[in-house]
Amino acid sequence: MNYSQNVWKLYGIRFFHNLIPAYVIERLFWEQRGMTIQLVVFTEIIYAATIVLFEVPSGIAADKWGRKKMMIVSALMGCCEFLILLFASSFWHFAAAIFLAGIGRSAGSGAENALLYDSLLLHGNAGSFEKCFGRLSALDFSAAMLAALSGSLMANWHGFELNYWVSFAGMAVSLLISLTLVEPEMKSKTERPIAVKEYVTASVRFFQRSPGLCLVLLSGMVVGAAMNFIDEFWQLYINRIGVPVIYFGLFSAGLSLLRLPGNILAYKLKNKISYRVLIFGVVLIFAVGMLYLSAVMGYTSLAVIFLIGTVSGIMEPLIAGYLHHNIDSSMRATIDSFRSLGLEAVLIIVGLGFGFFSSRHDVFGGYGFISLICFAFLVYFLATSKHLIEQHNDKKLSGGSG
């Protein structure tokens, strides 16, 4: 069976899943329907809690009953989310939509990567995982960039609701493509099927045996959390330094565009530069860059934000590839879900500090706190990484560029 078709289908699913012009006017639309800032915060808490509850169970379900099924659930939840939002008129409507969005995010996070890797593995092309993963991320940002630019125009010409109908249409296309995926056979080293109750304990044992891999995953979580606060609060930052709102769309598109080279070229970089050096360089740029954003409140900060966005594109393909080259197919989605769960946990912890310092020193203080976190992790990484990562590399990190 030609499992390579799954790769192209996953490209299409990712593109249409992120072709969401609703996001560019999301807060305005919600405010129009009666959602205050405090109510929006409550929905964000619901979203985070839903992911924490469903992330690992959905990964287990993907490994036990099929990755394709979870991809279909993810797309279906996306369709339901936008249908509810189109007709939402109270907090509970928005809460229900966000709850379904959290389930959809959990269902797809581990299943997508597992389906991609195993489809490549069955074609003897597992070494190209980082390249294909990078292309997925590039399509993610490309769709988001196109949606942001077109969404602002649609909202200006036709009002906010059209953006949500187009977003629903994108999710519907994603659902249709998901239905055509082919479930790959698992090339597992495990001789017997794993019972559902054993997945969590087996995953914990796996991480306990792999301290080098845990360190690499933790670096991805720190960088991912830091980048999240750039993505969520750059509007406030550039507004504070005097950038007119009319340029926000171009800034957003530029920030997405600059991530593409890292997404696409990560698979080549990891064959020329060691994981340790790459991770150290990215975290160092984040630490120094966040410090600059906190201390220097001028237009030069825009270049620093773009630099941070550029190097951030390297990390996700790099970290995902490091993980998937070293796990068994029978638990691929479950362990990847633990990675996603860990990122959410780090986001919550860093978010508490970011909120505390931002409330006292505006967004500049929040970025100063993130800089401190990055510098602290950098010290820990330097102290522990040489032995741990080199030891793990000796076990397995072959896999070429594909």
Do 1-182 and 209-396 agree at the fold level?
yes
Question: Is the backbone of residue 88 left (phi > 0), alpha (psi -120 to 50) or beta?
Answer: beta
Per-residue pLDDT of the chain (402 residues; tens, 9 = 90+): 666 788 899 999 999 998 888 887 776 788 788 887 567 767 877 887 888 888 888 888 888 888 899 999 999 999 999 999 999 989 999 999 999 999 998 888 778 888 888 888 887 787 788 888 888 888 887 888 888 778 878 877 887 888 899 999 999 999 999 999 988 876 555 555 555 566 677 777 777 787 888 888 899 999 998 998 888 778 778 888 888 766 776 787 788 888 888 888 887 887 888 888 899 999 999 999 999 999 998 899 999 999 999 999 888 888 888 887 777 777 777 777 778 778 878 887 888 788 888 878 888 998 999 999 999 999 999 888 876 555 445 444 444 333
Prediction pTM value:
0.71
Q: Domain 209-396 maps to which CATH number in 3.90.550.10, 1.20.1250.20, 1.10.490.20, 3.40.50.10800?
A: 1.20.1250.20
- Locate the domains of the chain by residue range: 1-182, 209-396
Q: Which CATH architecture has domain 1-182?
A: Up-down Bundle (1.20)
